[in-house]
Amino acid sequence: MRKVSIIIPCKEIDLMTEKCIKECLNLNYKDFGILVLPDNADKKTIKKFSNRKIKIIKTGKVKPAFKRNIGMKKARGEFFGFIDSDAYPEKNWLKNSMKYFNNPKIGIVGGPNLTPPEGNFWERVSGYVLSNFWSAGFANIRYKIAKNRFVRELPSCNYISRKKASSEYDPGFLTAEDSEFCFTCSKKGYKVLYAGDVRVYHHRRDTLKGHVKQMFIYGRDIAWLSKKDFSFDKIYYSILGIFVILFIEGIFISIFNSFFRNIFLIFILIYLSIIFLTSLHENLRMTLVTTCTTILTHFSYGIGWLYGLFKKHEQV
């Protein structure tokens, strides 16, 4: 059996982190260790998690990417299991993922990060939005169970990487560092596999404001990453940024041109109809809230992307 080092970056060992650790200890895979990387931890906390499988490493106040780099340096496994502290794995997480590494060409295996059943109303809304193709595009498979396929990237809240295929995360990024990690894996000649049976439950932002802010940051950071290492296949990330530009231009042109105004209104009506029809739920309230949240998601991500495009990369 191949050893896996599970790496959990966190600000503090709170209730969600404790849940993550507990579920990792319940995995039906024998050879693994857990590295928990909080900013700080007192003796009482360290004693609480005194277990031969657990190692707590105090990192100081640094970004998750920096913590993951420390975790990889301290890890003893030939595979790294990455999961966020506000997520927790299904019992078969490692057992299911490790079978795919029998193919030596596979460097990273990950799967869906599902909305936890105990999530509140806004977490469920966020989960519905992100799992909808018309909201998240091809990235929607990260948030629902889908068929196995090779992909360009996966989020670091749920993937296992072969040590030889791994690279350092860029600590200058708050998000999108996992995208670069996957891109580097591919450059080394390995493949990134999405597997529907490699599942974790990942808490969403529990307020609308938190969700919108997160989407802005996603857009901003992926724009910064695209500028750092540009390639034509990254143009895909610009779709919502272009959408925002065209929407603003459409408003201004419509003010002075009545013919264009009618065409613009038709396109807006089609857009709203698609979003509404793909947001339908049995509950009318959930349908309306999901529709509005999807629209806000498009604009917040698009504005974030434009911000990142024109603004110099900041060490946030």
Dump pLDDT digits (tens) for 92-117. 999 999 999 999 999 999 999 999 99
Q: Region 190-204: what's the mean pLDDT?
A: 99
Instruction: Name the nearest CA neighbour of 153 among 130, 189, 179.
Output: 179
Give pLDDT, residue 315.
Answer: 66
Average pLDDT (205-219) is: 98
pLDDT of residue 230: 85
Distance CA 247, CA 268 (A): 9
State residue 178 phi and psi, 5-degree precision: -75, -30
Mean pLDDT across the stretch 262-271? 97
pLDDT of 229 > 90? The answer is no
Sign, Cα dihedral of 90, 29, 196, 275: positive
Domains along the sequence of the chain with CATH: 4-206 (3.90.550.10), 209-310 (no CATH)
Kindly indicate the confidence band of residue 205, based on its pLDDT and cuts at 50, 70 and 90.
very high
Q: What is the mean pLDDT of the chain?
A: 96
Task: Report DSSP letters for 147-208, one per residue.
Answer: --EEES---TTEEEEEGGG-----TT-SSSHHHHHHHHHHHTT-EEEE-TTS-EEE---SSH
Q: What is the pLDDT of residues 22-48, one digit of tens each?
A: 999 999 999 999 999 999 998 888 889
Q: What share of the chain is helix, strand, coil (3-state, %, to 5)?
A: 55, 15, 35
Whole-prediction pTM value? 0.94
What is the pairing mode between strands 113-114 and 200-202?
A: parallel
- At residue 244, does pLDDT exceed 60? yes
- What is the number of alpha carbons within 13 Å of residue 10 lying toward its C-beta? 27
Q: Which residue has the higher pLDDT, 231 or 7?
A: 7
Q: In this structure, what are the phi and psi dihedrals at residue 199, rounded to the nearest 5 degrees?
A: -120, 145
**295 pLDDT higher than 80:** yes
pLDDT band (50, 70, 90) for residue 20 = very high
Q: What is the distance of C-alpha 193 from the center of its chain?
A: 15
In the predicted structure, residue 316 carries a pLDDT above the cut 60: no
Whether 314 has a pLDDT exceeding 90, the answer reads no
Provide the pLDDT for residue 32.
Answer: 98
